[in-house]
A = this chain, B = another copy of it.
Amino acid sequence: MCYAQFIENLFYKGGGSLEKPTIADVAKYAGVSITTVSRVINNNYPVKEETRQKVEEAINALNFKPNYLARSLIGKSTHTIGVVVPSITNLFFPVVVKGIEKVCSQKTFSLFLCDTDGKEESERTQIQNLLEKQVDGILVIDPRYENIENGFYEECAKKIPLVLINGYHRGVRCNFVLNDQEMGTLQAMEYLIKLGHRDIAFLRAKNSYSYDIKEQVYYETLKKHQIPIRKENILVIENGNGLETVELAIQVVQKRLEQEEPPTAIFACNDWMGVGVMQAAKRLGISIPEDLSVIGYDNIVISEISEPKLTTVDQNMYALGKTSARLLLDIIKHPGHGFQKIILDTNLMIRESCTSPKK
């Protein structure tokens, strides 16, 4: 059949080739004009039934597929969006991307994937590339704070539909979709306090707006419950994302647990750190949750397979992706409605790593 088709092609192209057939080939084969072929493809103008048949036959015979490039060039749209992530291997982002993909493929949009390795400059050049490739819109997951603050994204947003996911700076005129980190942290803290904990450590990494927010809420919640804040309960590690995080967390937590008056619970700013806490405890023969409660954040897959299973805050990454994609496609379709900031709920995932402290 492919051979037959090959021959057919040879025959037709009068000299022949395996080249992709164009709309002109179809027109010739069907004995109609190019315009008519276009009409049956797009089904946007009346065409006599008989003609349509002929054209459709030709299309099948030649196995014609319209060239998107040419279509797009005329100006409507490329039906393509760009998705920029700091690192696709991050365990966190693939779920968001999947949500985006789901919505896009439903609406027959394609998706350019760009990985920046978390570099501020790479983020900018990737966006430039996307612009040149004429994408209809751009989604940025965890944009670098600097690029939001320095006006880069505000500038972008003027040129092209743009949605920033999980990054924010007050006053920047841009579309945002965010998780409610204040709420998530509050849920976690209130839960621990309700269990009876009054000595809760806070484990974070350096330099992240996200951890700053959480630390803020940590203080506020303690204050609200008139629980004194102890400086030695603020545990800080260098790097918050990746394998080394676990090891770093183990070190710092182990040290803290060996001091006098160790905390009865630890709030970890993400699940990697949460796992680190568990392993530190294990090494010291401290059992979780009996002797120490741990709560994580993010609900990435590792929290579900740890032993015991880690209680954590779910950010519903999948919904985050879907919501953002929907917003973007909506903006593409109906431009110029001003900017939106959508804040998504978080959910406390109560599993096995927390309980009331021993008296």
Contacts and interface: CB of A to CB of B under 8 A. Distances in A.
Most chain B beta carbons < 10 A, residue from A2, A108, A129, A337: A2
Given A128-B65, A337-B2, A88 B94 contact: yes
A78 interface: yes
B91 A113 contact: no
A279 interface: yes
A132 B73 contact: no
Copy number in the complex reads 2
Contact of A336 (B6, B69, B89, B336): B6
A212 interface: no
Given A88-B101, A95-B89, A243 B301 contact: yes
B67 A70 contact: no
A175 to B, nearest CB: 11
A237 to B, nearest CB: 15
B2 A134 contact: no
Contact of A134 (B1, B69, B98, B301): B69
Contacts of A246: 305
A111 B129 CA distance: 12
Given A113-B111, A305-B243, A158 B2 contact: yes
Contacts of A83: 113
Interface in A263-313: 275, 278-279, 282, 301-302, 304-305, 307
Interface in A319-343: 336-339
A87 interface: yes
Interface in A58-103: 65-70, 72-73, 78, 80, 83, 87-91, 93-95, 97-98, 101-102
Given A2-B155, A6-B336, A73-B69, A89 B94 contact: yes
B78 A88 contact: no
Interface residues of A, number: 60
A323 B98 CA distance: 25
A87 B67 CA distance: 27
Nearest to A122: B105
A128 B126 CA distance: 26
B173 A67 contact: no
A134 B19 CA distance: 13
14 contacts: A1-B339, A2-B158, A5-B336, A65-B131, A68-B133, A69-B133, A87-B98, A88-B97, A90-B94, A105-B115, A108-B129, A111-B112, A111-B113, A275-B305
Interface of A: 1-2, 5-6, 65-70, 72-73, 78, 80, 83, 87-91, 93-95, 97-98, 101-102, 105, 108, 110-115, 126, 128-129, 131-134, 155, 158, 173, 243, 246, 275, 278-279, 282, 301-302, 304-305, 307, 336-339
Question: Which 9 interchain pairs have the tightest Cβ spacing?
Answer: A113-B113, A101-B115, A69-B73, A88-B94, A89-B94, A68-B133, A2-B336, A89-B98, A94-B94
